[in-house]
Structure 1
Amino acid sequence: MAKRQLHKLSSRAAETIAVPGRHSDGGGLYLAVETGAHRRRQWVFLYRARGTNRRREIGLGSAKGPGRDGLSLAQARLKAAEVRKALAEGKDPIAERRAKTAGDTTFGQFADALLQSIKSGFKGKNTYADWKRDLEVRCKSMRDKQIGAVTTADVLAIISPMWLTKNRTARETRSRVERVLSAAKAKGLRTGENPAMWRGNLKELLPKAKKTKRHHAAAPYKNMPGIVRALQERHQSADTNVNFAAEFIILTAVRTNEARYMRVREIDLTEKLWTIPAERMKTEDDPEGTDFEVPLCERAVAILRELISDNAAPDAYVFAGQWSKDQMKPLGHNAVLHALKAVYPAITTHGCRSSFRDWVGDETRFEREIAEMALAHKVGDDTERAYRRGNALKKRRQLMEAWGRYVSSPSNVIAFQRRATT
């Protein structure tokens, strides 16, 4: 086989060629000329990856040209010779370069860069601060370590001290470290298994932590009608959406954020049904999230009819913030809690769900599974849930109507006029 011709270009040609495209100097070395605003000129080396015969490209640097600095033809040929030597020795030039880059990149540097690149996708306003604290403070012991050299022992040194005492914090930190190291591998800065991986790795090395349940202050369910009546009275005098929101949360037994972020398009007043999108239903029980249908009792429908004007935008928040003239900002995070505590100090919004669950168990004959499904708790396996779904909604509607009658009986309800549309 004829040997490939080398040194096809002259020094003058290499510095003056302006025709777009790749111009071969032979032996895999090319001068790549681009047009456009930047008019880049760059030396590249093309080769076939051993074993796959896939074509690969590695940049060698900017090319010298009229009025600009860069590699001369002679310098580019020297770099090309180094690449050919590595290929002859069975090495992959791209992998070699990545390994060198990894050797210069610390965990802290890569983690900080990754955080900046993904922060725009965070939903909660505190999420960025939480990530930053974990990666800077809790991971301080390995921030100066090369990203490619981080081991399981390094991760354990961070996670183990707080695993039994601050388990939730430890789990969140582990998950974030795993994300950083996975991204480093995707960038070619690491190889092998992720040392922060849970299954088949840290799970086998850490003791099983006891699950601790958070107890939320709840009112005895016998006090709920009085609380609802007080909220209605406060709305009558102050006309604030937050009191309606607090009452609505009691009537539907949903979580606060599920109601705060409720948009007009999610409501079907004809069917008396509210469909919460999957992304707002992600919980520890259901990390993937699924759409959740909430049957609405008569009183809940009346509240929505009062709040939703005839010309309301589909994306408008039903429970908008006090100063949100266009209905495009939801109530503040603690607004509903403050409204509840104003009428019953020893209660939390989540505690309202507990009051509802106690009432179902003590005062009704509804099955336990129906009560749990009304609270959006997972019951049974996927097959069982799919089988129950149709009939469960009917029974849940009956349950929520009964709860609505209990907490807002006719003697408790305060009439209000339909809000004028604009």
Structure 2
Amino acid sequence: MHHVILPPKVDQTVDRNTRSLNKLSAVKVRTAPEGKYSDGGGLWLHKRTDGGGQWVFRFTVHGRRREMGLGSVSQVPLKDAREEAERSRSIVRSNLDPIKERERKRREAASSLHLLKDIALDAFESRKAELKGDGVAGRWFSPLELHVLPKLGKVPVIDIDQKDIRDTLAPIWHDKADTARKAMNRLGICMKHAAALGLEVDLQATEKARALLGKQRHKATNIPALPWQEVPAFYLSLADGTVTHLALRLLILTGVRSGPLRFLREEQIEGDIWTIPGTAMKGRKDATVDFRVPLSKEALAVVKQARRHARGGFLFPSVKKGVISDATMARLMERAEMAARPHGFRSSLRDWIAETTSTPHDIAETVLGHTVGGAVERSYRRTDFIEQRRKLMARWAQYVTGQGGQLLKMIKEA
């Protein structure tokens, strides 16, 4: 009786084609149409319709089938892709996951990013997408840059403790309370970012520093506002049709903040509605929600005049480039020897609403773009009170233009 000797089973944990390597050529990589092509040993080429492609390494480890990207064909030549695939096959033969090993090495490399100045810049980069205008204005980073990094920037982040933070922020803790608070918050974010990179930092250091610094004595001061009774006379003085006068007029008529007004673009206005992008609204956590501003007849007339000055799509351009600045409007009021500032007209409007109308609180706060109620309440309330605000702002326009200031009764939507 003859015994049939069977060949040993081939280990298929990496790829069925391990015995057949280097099946592709550089010409094939460059000219192959859309599709998936095996080079053997788990290395695959995924070509797209546009001619581009991606290297992918397929493997099985711990009974789990996985794919790991090795880069695009435009950046990784065939030779390099094969070398990387061979390194990955070696890792698999050691019963390890190449993807996890790559992540581990990245974390080790990131741990060399250890100075606070490097961590701060990396944290800033990772948050740019959630900041207004990608943080171009630098307001997020400036408290760190001005008050923290000069002293602690070159200190390894793992060595920073509450005493270092206290000594750094103590000079401004009371005199520049708001700036100090922002610097402390940004520093806390940097410490969390360092921890996410795998560094051994004290995540409680900022809270401990707050305890050492004590409660801030500084109290915020309100921006001076013109009493609502004096607004009509000031509005009447803004009559020369310049960009500054028109900007102040629309600021008064709408009650918006100066930022959205200065960057007002023609396409944001449709009919009698001005839609401010959510990203331009200060203090709103949900930047996807836009804010609608009803424009009175007087406001529309101001917009019509402003269009004569429009440049680059902006209704309120500056003399040289960009848009009119906050300081330009403020200087006009300074030259008139007024204590009030442009932002204060929001308070003027709010006081007029409270003292001369019976407008419900929710509507009055919505006029100023404030978020009203908790998250649950807002999820059930689908209105932005646009119709009520349209009537209210029409009456405000009548008042500031000297056409009357009768009491107005507002009924809140259910």
Q: Same fold by TM (over 0.5)? A: yes
Q: How does 1:403-422 map to 2 (within 5 A)?
A: 403-410=396-403
What is the deviation of 1:48? 4.2
Match status 1:220 vs 2:227: yes
* 2:138 counterpart residue number: 128
1:122-167 deviations in Å (ceiling 9; x for gaps): 6288743752661686255475437xxx49x747853797496435
Output the CA distance in 1 between the equivalents of 2:99 and 2:383.
Answer: 61
Output the CA distance in 2 between the equivalents of 1:345 and 1:64.
Answer: 72
State, as a whole percentage, how many aligned pairs show the same letter: 22
Seen in structure 2, the aligned counterparts of structure 1 residues 264 and 369 have a Cα distance that, compared at 3 Å, is same
Extract unaligned runs of 5+ from structure 1: 35-41, 412-422
* 1:260 counterpart residue number: 262
* 2:300 counterpart residue number: 301
Output the CA distance in 2 between the equivalents of 1:49 and 1:209.
Answer: 56
Output the CA distance in 2 between the equivalents of 1:392 and 1:128.
Answer: 35
Q: Is the 8 A contact 1:295 1:396 kept in 2?
A: yes
Q: 3-state DSSP class of the match of 1:334?
A: helix
Output the CA distance in 2 between the equivalents of 1:257 and 1:88.
Answer: 54
Q: Is the 8 A contact 1:360 1:371 kept in 2?
A: yes
Seen in structure 2, the aligned counterparts of structure 1 residues 56 and 349 have a Cα distance that, compared at 3 Å, is same
What is the deviation of 1:323? 4.3
Q: 3-state DSSP class of the match of 2:326?
A: coil
Match status 1:317 vs 2:327: no
Output the CA distance in 1 between the equivalents of 2:253 and 2:400.
Answer: 8
Q: How does 1:266-415 map to 2 (within 5 A)?
A: 266-269=268-271, 272-283=272-283, 286-289=284-287, 290-308=289-307, 316-323=313-320, 329-382=322-375, 384=377, 390=383, 392-410=385-403
1:211-241 deviations in Å (ceiling 9; x for gaps): 9544101122222122112222xx1xxx411
Q: Is the 8 A contact 1:245 1:319 kept in 2?
A: yes
Q: How does 1:97-246 map to 2 (within 5 A)?
A: 97-107=105-115, 108-112=117-121, 115=124, 123=133, 127-128=137-138, 131=141, 134=144, 138-139=148-149, 141=152, 143-145=154-156, 150=158, 154=161, 158=165, 162=169, 165=174, 166=177, 169-171=180-182, 173-175=184-186, 178=189, 181-182=192-193, 185=196, 189-190=197-198, 212-232=219-239, 235=240, 239-246=241-248
Output the CA distance in 2 between the equivalents of 1:367 and 1:252.
Answer: 18
* 1:38 counterpart residue number: none
1:65-112 deviations in Å (ceiling 9; x for gaps): 9xxxx9xx9xx99x7898478647999643552354244332444544
Q: Is the 8 A contact 2:296 2:393 kept in 1?
A: yes
Seen in structure 2, the aligned counterparts of structure 1 residues 245 and 4 have a Cα distance that, compared at 3 Å, is same
- Bigger shift: residues 172-181 or 402-411: 172-181
Seen in structure 2, the aligned counterparts of structure 1 residues 86 and 173 have a Cα distance that, compared at 3 Å, is farther
1:370-400 deviations in Å (ceiling 9; x for gaps): 3222112222235655777658333323322
- Structure 2 letter corresponding to 1:128: G
1:171-200 deviations in Å (ceiling 9; x for gaps): 455346536854884xxx4289x9659xxx
Q: 3-state DSSP class of the match of 1:294?
A: strand
Q: 3-state DSSP class of the match of 1:54?
A: strand
What is the deviation of 1:203? 7.1
Seen in structure 2, the aligned counterparts of structure 1 residues 365 and 18 have a Cα distance that, compared at 3 Å, is closer
* 1:54 counterpart residue number: 66
What is the deviation of 1:266? 2.0
Output the CA distance in 1 between the equivalents of 2:100 and 2:259.
Answer: 52
What is the deviation of 1:304? 1.6
Extract unaligned runs of 5+ from structure 2: 1-7, 13-17, 30-36, 48-54, 405-414
What is the deviation of 1:256? 0.7
Seen in structure 2, the aligned counterparts of structure 1 residues 160 and 174 have a Cα distance that, compared at 3 Å, is farther
Q: Is the 8 A contact 2:366 2:384 kept in 1?
A: no
Seen in structure 2, the aligned counterparts of structure 1 residues 306 and 58 have a Cα distance that, compared at 3 Å, is closer
Q: Is the 8 A contact 2:128 2:134 kept in 1?
A: no
What is the deviation of 1:3? 6.6
| TM-score where L is the length of structure 2 | 0.65
What is the deviation of 1:252? 1.6
Output the CA distance in 2 between the equivalents of 1:52 and 1:155.
Answer: 46
Q: Is the 8 A contact 1:218 1:347 kept in 2?
A: yes
| TM-score where L is the length of structure 1 | 0.64
Q: Is the 8 A contact 2:61 2:92 kept in 1?
A: no
Seen in structure 2, the aligned counterparts of structure 1 residues 180 and 262 have a Cα distance that, compared at 3 Å, is farther
Seen in structure 2, the aligned counterparts of structure 1 residues 98 and 390 have a Cα distance that, compared at 3 Å, is closer
Q: Is the 8 A contact 1:320 1:331 kept in 2?
A: yes
Query: How many aligned residue pairs are there?
Result: 368
- Bigger shift: residues 46-55 or 221-230: 46-55
